[in-house]
Amino acid sequence: MIYTKDHKTFDMFDPFPEFGSKRKQLLKKSWAELFRDEILPELPVHLLTKHFNEESGRPTKELYAMLGFMVLQQMFDLTDEEAVNQFAFNRQWHYALNITGHSDEETYVCPKTLWNIRHILTEHGLYAPLFEAITVRLAKVFDVDPRLQRLDSVHIFSNMAHLGRIGLFVQTIKKFLVNLKRHHRDLVTALDQELIDRYMPQKGQSVFAMVKPSEVARTLDKVGQDLFALVTRFRGSNAITAMASYQLLVRLFEEQYAVEKNVETNQETITVKLSKDVPSNSLQNPSDPDAGYDGHKGRGYQIQVAETCSYESENKPLSLITHVTVEAAHENDANALLPAIKSTRELGLAPKELLADTLYGGDDNLKKAQQEGVELIAPACNGTPAKGVALADFTFSERGGKVLSCPMSHVPSRTKHKKERHSATFEAESCKGCPLLDDCQVKPGKRGYYLRYTDKEARLAKRRAHEKTTVFRNRYRLRAGVEATMSEYDRRTGVKHLRVRGLKAVSFAANIKAAGLNILRAAAFRSRRQPEKTGPIADLRATWNRKISIKGQFDAFVKIWNYPFGINNSIDNDWMLLAV
C-alpha cells in the first residue's frame, strides 16, 4: 500500500516544540528550512508510486521522505549505514523531511528499504526527473536567469579496480568460470582441470601474481589461448552464449586479439594487438563493462555539467547546475553540446549564450548552436593555425567570406566564388616586393598570386581573429569559473570517487549529487543575500506567504489574530502590518 503525507498544508501547532528560538534561527539559515518549504512538496512522488500497489501489501514508508532521503544521502556523501543513522537520530533531517513523530515507524528505515527505493530510481531512470524537479523549483523560487551558462566535463571513477591487461583477461575468464560453475556445474567438470586451477586457484594461491616484465608477452599469449579456447568451445550453446559473462569473453577477445587463418592448414592463430590498436571503448573491467578509457585521465566515466552564471561582479544571482549527463570516459566532448542545449530547453532553462572550452568549439557545433538559438562562445578548435601569416591575418567582409585586403593592406584585384570555395588574386607587383611573402599563404599563378580558401576556413579565420580582441576575452573570462564548480561538486558530494559501478548507478549518483549541490548553494545564497527576521510573527508571515491551501490560510489567519491578545502586546505593530 502507498503512504504519503500532505506537505503543503500549514500545521496548526508547531510540530517541533523542542527547538528554542536560537536553534530555530539556525534551522532557518540552514539547508533544512529550504528543503522543507520548497523542495519536499515538489518531489515527483507520482513517478515512484507506479511501482507499488495501492490496495494490497504492507504500507510503504512515507514516499516524500524516502525521495528526500535519497537526495540527502548523496548530498552529504553517506554510506547506507551512515544514512540510516542520520535518518533515525538527526532532528535536522527530521525537520527537513517533515517527520514529526518519534516512533520507529516514522524515524527508522532499514537498509533493505533504502536499497529497494534506490534500485527503482536507478533501473527506471527516475533520477533524471528528480534532478529536474529540484532544479526547476529552485530556479523559480530564486528567479534564476538562465540566459548565460557555461559547459564543461569532469572525469570520475566508479568503484572498480584499475587492471592491467593480464589482470583484465584473468578476471574476465574467472568471472565466466564462476558463473558457469554456478549454473552449469557439469560443463565445468568437463573442462581441463589445469585451466580451472589457473583461474580459480585455492585460497592464498595466485598463478598470475607478480609476472616478470620479460614474461608478459608469453603470459598474454597463454591467456589468449585459454580465452580463445573457451570462446570457441561454447560458441554453439545457446544457454551459454546468453550469459552476460560469456558475452564479456567474446567482447574482450575481439578487442584485444587478432585471429589469422592459414588457408593451407585451415588452422587459426591468434596474436595480441598492440596497445595503440585497442579501441578506447574497450572493456576496462568485467565488473563495470560500461566504463571507458581516456588516454589523458584514465579509466572511468565523465560528467557533462552546465550551470548558470553572470557577468555581474556584485550582487551575483544564484548559480544553478542545469544539466548533468554521464558518459563513458572515451566519449568526445564535442558531441555533448547539442544534448545539453536540448536538455536545458526542456526544463525551460535554455541559455542564450553558452561558454565552453576549445573541445566544444568546432565549426559544426557553432552552426548547430546557432540553429538552436544559442550563441556559442568558445575558441575555435578545427585545424591548426598556419605558421607565419595565417588566414586570420587577412581582412574579411562583415558578411560572407570575401577578402578585402592582406596584412600589408593590399587589395585583391579579383575575387572568385564557387559554392563554398573562394579565391582572391593579388597583383604580382604588390606581392613580389612584400617582406611577408615567404610566410604568406598566397601561391604564385598566371595572373598574380592566389589565396584559396573555403567558407569553413574563412569562418575559422574570423573566429581566431576575434579571439585576440578584448571583447572576446572579457566575455570568455567567466568560463574558468566552471572549474571551481567541479571542485565544489567533488569536495561537497564526493562525486569523483563513487561507491557504485555501472552507467545507471553512476548516473543516479551524479544527478542526485548535482541536485544536492544546487540545494546547498541555494541555502547559502538565501542566508547570505536574503536574511529573514526571526520570531513568532516572522514565522507566521513566512507561512502566510507560502502557497498553502485555503484551510491553511484560514488557520494561519486565526492564529495571527489570536496571538497578540494577552500574550505579548509589544508585537501589535507587526500584527497590524501583517493584517493590513
Phi, psi (5° rounding) for residue 336? Answer: -95, -10
Q: Is the pLDDT of residue 136 over 80?
A: yes
Work out the pLDDT band at 570, boundaries 50, 70, 90: very low
Residue range 302-316, pLDDT digits in tens = 999 999 999 987 788
Q: Region 109-120: what's the mean pLDDT?
A: 95
Q: Is the pLDDT of residue 9 over 50?
A: yes
Spatial neighbors of 354 by CB under 8 A, at least 6 apart, are 149, 150, 151, 306, 337, 340, 341, 369, 374, 375, 376, 377
Q: How far apart are CA 71 and CA 86, in angstroms?
A: 13
Q: How far apart are CA 273 and CA 252, in angstroms?
A: 12
Cα dihedral 479, 484, 490, 493, rounded to 10, equals: -100
In the block, residue with C-alpha cell 540552514: 30
Work out the pLDDT band at 338, boundaries 50, 70, 90: very high
Task: Look at residue 209 in the predicted model and tell me its pLDDT.
Answer: 60
Q: Region 145-153: what's the mean pLDDT?
A: 96
Q: Is the pLDDT of residue 537 over 80?
A: no
Closest CA to 126 of 63, 168, 184, 188: 63
Work out the pLDDT band at 295, boundaries 50, 70, 90: confident
Q: How many CB atoms lie within 10 A of CB 493?
A: 22
Task: Look at residue 552 in the predicted model and tell me its pLDDT.
Answer: 55
Q: How far apart are CA 180 and CA 186, in angstroms?
A: 9
Q: Region 266-282: what's the mean pLDDT?
A: 85
Q: Is the pLDDT of residue 118 over 50?
A: yes
Closest CA to 218 of 143, 275, 272, 141: 272
Residue range 352-369, pLDDT digits in tens = 999 999 999 999 999 999
Q: Is the pLDDT of residue 334 over 80?
A: yes
Work out the pLDDT band at 89, boundaries 50, 70, 90: very high
Pairing of strands 298-308, 321-328: antiparallel
Work out the pLDDT band at 571, boundaries 50, 70, 90: very low
Task: Look at residue 558 in the predicted model and tell me its pLDDT.
Answer: 58
Listed in order, strand segments (DSSP E) in 201-288 are 257-262, 267-272
DSSP secondary structure code for residue 109 in this structure: -
Q: Is the pLDDT of residue 567 over 50?
A: no
Lowest mean pLDDT among 251-265, 426-440, 483-497, 524-538: 524-538
Q: Is the pLDDT of residue 140 over 50?
A: yes
Task: Look at residue 210 in the predicted model and tell me its pLDDT.
Answer: 58
| pTM beyond cutoff 0.75 | yes
Are 283 and 172 in contact, with CB atoms under 8 Å apart?
yes
Q: How far apart are CA 105 and CA 63, in angstroms?
A: 13
Kindly state the cell numbers that stand for 35.
528543503
Task: Look at residue 575 in the predicted model and tell me its pLDDT.
Answer: 41
Spatial neighbors of 207 by CB under 8 A, at least 6 apart, are 197, 198, 199, 201
Q: Is the pLDDT of residue 447 over 90?
A: no
Residue range 399-441, pLDDT digits in tens = 767 888 888 888 888 888 888 888 888 888 888 888 888 888 8
Task: Look at residue 453 in the predicted model and tell me its pLDDT.
Answer: 86
Q: Region 4-33: what's the mean pLDDT?
A: 88
Task: Look at residue 556 in the predicted model and tell me its pLDDT.
Answer: 57
First CA to last CA distance, the chain: 46
Lowest mean pLDDT among 74-88, 161-175, 539-553: 539-553
Q: Is the pLDDT of residue 578 over 60?
A: no
Residue range 164-216, pLDDT digits in tens = 888 898 999 999 999 999 999 999 888 988 888 888 886 655 666 656 777 77
Listed in order, strand segments (DSSP E) in 26-91 are none
